[in-house]
Amino acid sequence: MIIVLKPDAPQEFIDKLTVSIKSKGLQIDISKGARKTVLGLVGDTSVIDRDQIQGSDYVDKVIRVEEPYKRVSRAFHPEDTVVSVNGIPIGGKKLAVIAGPCSIETPDQIEGVARDVKAAGATMLRGGAFKPRTSPYSFQGLRDQGLDMLCEAGKKAHLPVVTEIMSADKIDLFLHDHVDIIQIGARNMQNFDLLKAVGKTRKPILLKRGLCATIEEWLMSAEYIMAGGNHNVILCERGIRTFENYTRNTLDLSAILAVKHKSHLPVVVDPSHATGKRWMVEALSKAAIAAGADGVMVEVHNDPEHAWCDGAQSITPKMFAGLMDSLRQIAPVVGREL
């Protein structure tokens, strides 16, 4: 940690600060410039409260040199993490392809989609039972009933299932119903109480990046889950909010590289939510794999024009089969298999 002092910081203040920091077991290297004095803190700076130091009128800025996360960091866990989902790996050589409808609508619908995506080569089934909707008047998901349908469809198609949780009081239901991956949605990425709650389970957690979350904030949210003891975290890039609104969000593929550089956790990409446009899904899925993602998650609906939500971004099972063919060609080029 580096503390840059303002030109007018009196010696008395510097002395007091130095004593206080040293009392916490750290060393300080002082570098006096023409106008500003710089303190370099050596040792375990996690005992230092950055906010408190930043609060002083004599402090210009406090710069962290070490990352604020630990369990998430590649420095502390150099090898790639592979999360096992009922024996199916996410991370590593084999790509994960998670497919399914935005919303679970009927047993027939979800079981039909499950069969189709399984046949085309999907490795997992997604489907929303609890839906975060901007409007209180929009369809909110079939909830508990939808969860049952999804788990049943997964069982029949021999596909692990992924679905979103919106509230900690549903964790028992998710565990009881044998949800294989619990998804934390973009809007709940900093719902810290929910992160703590799923951190106490040992279920794989798919953590979507928040709409305006920095890479660091996203990793800190993963740290919340891991701090609870649950190391089965899968990151999911799904686009960030920018000034451009031709696409629903702006897919940030450099984020794949950033998180793989800083962290050992696997990362998948959701081009459906990122773009909101069905015709962009295939090309951006290929791009995601080319950039190094560990998999993709795409919305597939048997009848997108009558989907109960997000129809505009859902592809048909036929389009999905075409997408799988493309991915099978691109995978070996980047040292992956499907």
Scanning residues 241 to 280, which ones bind its own copies (CB under 8 A)? 241-247, 250-258, 261, 274-275, 278-280
Count the alpha carbons within 13 Å of 261 in the hemisphere toward its beta carbon: 9
Interaction of residue 196 with its own copies, rule CB under 8 A: yes
Question: Which residue from 192, 200, 318, 337 is in contact with its own copies, where contact means CB under 8 A?
Answer: 192
Q: What track of x and - describes contact with its own copies for positions 63 through 102 (by CB under 8 A)? A: x-xx-xx-----x---------------------------
If the CB atoms of residues 88 and 321 are measured against its own copies, the closer one turns out to be 321
CB of 178 to its own copies, least distance (A): 22
Question: How many residues bind its own copies, per CB under 8 A?
Answer: 108
Question: Which residue from 22, 54, 93, 322 is in contact with its own copies, where contact means CB under 8 A?
Answer: 54
Interaction of residue 330 with its own copies, rule CB under 8 A: yes
If the CB atoms of residues 56 and 86 are measured against its own copies, the closer one turns out to be 56
CB of 235 to its own copies, least distance (A): 14
DSSP characters over 12-63: HHHHHHHHHHHTTT-EEEEEE-SS-EEEEEES-GGGS-HHHHHTSTTEEEEE
Interaction of residue 18 with its own copies, rule CB under 8 A: no
CB of 160 to its own copies, least distance (A): 25
Task: Tell me the H-state helices in the chain.
Answer: 11-22, 50-54, 107-120, 143-157, 171-176, 192-199, 215-227, 254-262, 271-275, 281-291, 317-333
C-alpha of 78 from chain center: 19
The pair of structure tokens assigned to 27 is 């060393």
CB of 155 to its own copies, least distance (A): 27
Q: Which amino acid is at 18?
A: T
Angular region, 239: left φ>0, alpha ψ -120 to 50, beta rest: left
